[in-house]
Each structure stands twice: as C-alpha cells, then as structure tokens.
Amino acid sequence: MKRKHSFGFTLVALLLLPALSGCFGSSNIVNDLLDNPGIPGGLTLACLDSSQYTKLVIEIDYETDYKPEASSTDMLIERIEQVCDKPNGVEIDFNPTTFGHGDTWTAQDVRDKGWANKDSEPRDSSVLTWQIIFPSGTYSDDSVLGVAVDASTIAIFGDSVDDAAGFFGRPSAEEVENSVTIHEVGHLLGLVNLVYTSPADHEDSEHKGHSNNEDSVMYWAIESRSVGSFISGDLPTEFDQDDLNDLSGLADGSISITDQLWQP
C-alpha cells in the first residue's frame, strides 16, 4: 500500500467497546428490518457448508493507494479455505473504487458505502460474496483498524494500519494489515461467540467477541502490550485450536448457532 507512513508506539487493534463502537458496527434497526443485511456471523453457515454455496468471492473495493498487500489477500484465501467448504474455490475480486466520503467513517457510513458499491448480492445462486472495503480516512474511533458492520461487509482503515506500525518496522504496516484482515473475516465467521456459545472458555471477559489467547488472530488486541514485544515477536495471523474447534462444531451441528440468514 502506498500511503503515508507514520509510526506509533502501540498497535491498538479492533478493541470491542460497547455495542455502538469498536470492532463491530452498531446495527441500524430500520435498515435491518427492510433489507436484513444481518449481523457479523450471519452468513457463517453459508461459508462453512457447501450444499448451496459452492464458491466464495471476496470483493475488495479499494481507493487509490489503499489496495491491500498481496500477502494479506493470499493469506486470507488460505485461512478461508482452511475452514470453509467451497468446492468451486475462493477467489478475490479487486475493484478500484471512489467512495466519495470524508475523512471519518462511522459504522453506518461503512454499511451505506459498502452496499452502494457491492458488485453482487451476498447470496446469488451458488455464490457467496463477502466484501472488504479499503477506504481513505479513519474510523470515528481512530484506534480502531477495522470494523465488521453486517453479515457480509468489512472495512479496513489503511491510514490507521500505517499508524499502528512499530518502530524499526516491527511490526510493519503489512504485518498489521495481515492480522487485522484475518481478524475481521474471523468475525464474519462468527468468532468469538457472536452467533453461538463456545464449549471452550476462550472469550475475553472484558472484550466480548474476542479471544483471550494472545496466540489467536482473534485475540482482543491482536498485539502484545509493549514496544519490545512488537520488535521481538510476531503478530498472530491464524485461528487457534479453540477457534477451529468452534468452526468445526458449527459446521457439523454439534454447536448451536443463531441469527443465520441461511441454513442448510
């Protein structure tokens, strides 16, 4: 990504604040009643199961200079293929986009601009489509690097990702983007406990919807808490065993799931 390059002491990633901010965008009740875009995790079964949706397309809509790194999108395909049953494959559809928005985004802005620019409906015949937008500007809480606003729509804020990079390039902005991208897609998969209750005690008690395991990409803060650990350690980019067990249980029906827009 060719963006401004500024550095911060800490990576403050995707902290789940009360329901109106943070990693999850607040629900718009009127929009939900009329169009039912669902909640993050609302298309979990559509991804895990192949009886209806045999292909997953990730639509990437990005503004000039905000195209995601190839490492992020390559890793995204790997992680999705690890857990979702899609015999006709997982592919990325890149779309240069002008959102025509200001410098600050709310959850509703992301939802509105996302849906206005979707190439396809999230569910169309045998194809499931998720959308990630990479706009200029920052979230209304500029410590937030990404947000999932409904069952199919994510935003990653590249300027904030750049700001989260550490001194000496550890972690680099690319590494931060890798982790944040997988983290947000994890929320579209329903992690952690968004549309189910895990049999494992791995949700952070103070940061709902996030893991308490710092080795999981779903860890509540994504990062260690000191500059030294940033320099010497790697940010997680993989789902941990509890995450994988949850997804496996949801897929085979041994874990109950709610708020689905589609069920087999």
- DSSP for 145-213, please give it: -EEE-SSSEEEE-HHHHHHHPPGGGSS-HHHHHHHHHHHHHHHHTTTTTTSS--SS--B-TTSTTSBS-
- pLDDT tens for 229-242 read 344 468 899 999 99
What token pair was written down for 30? Answer: 């009127």
Higher pLDDT, 235 or 47: 47
* Confidence (pLDDT) at 2: 42
Domain assignment present for 177: yes
Domain that holds residue 43: 29-225+234-251
Classify residue 194: in a domain, yes or no. Answer: yes
Rg (CA), the chain: 17
For residue 23, is pLDDT > 80? no
Specify the pLDDT at position 25.
61
- pLDDT tier for residue 110 given thresholds of 50, 70 and 90: very high
18 lies in some domain? no
Q: What is the mean pLDDT of residues 15-27?
A: 45
Does residue 69 fall inside a structural domain?
A: yes
Instruction: Name the average pLDDT for the chain.
Output: 85
pTM of the model: 0.87
**Which H helix or E strand runs over 239?**
none
pLDDT at 18 over 70: no
Point out the least confidently predicted range of 22-31, 99-108, 174-183, 228-237.
Answer: 22-31
The CATH number of whichever domain residue 114 belongs to comes to 3.40.390.10
Mean pLDDT of 107-121: 96
Report the C-alpha gap between 26 and 150 in whole angstroms: 9
As for how many domains the chain has, the answer is 1
Q: Which of 113, 112, 147, 117 is nearest to 129 (CA)?
A: 117
* pLDDT at 97 exceeding the cut of 60: yes
Is residue 113 within 8 Å of 93, Cβ to Cβ?
no
Element (H, E) at 146: strand 146-148
Q: Let me know how many helices (H) and strands (E) the chain has, helices first.
A: 8, 8
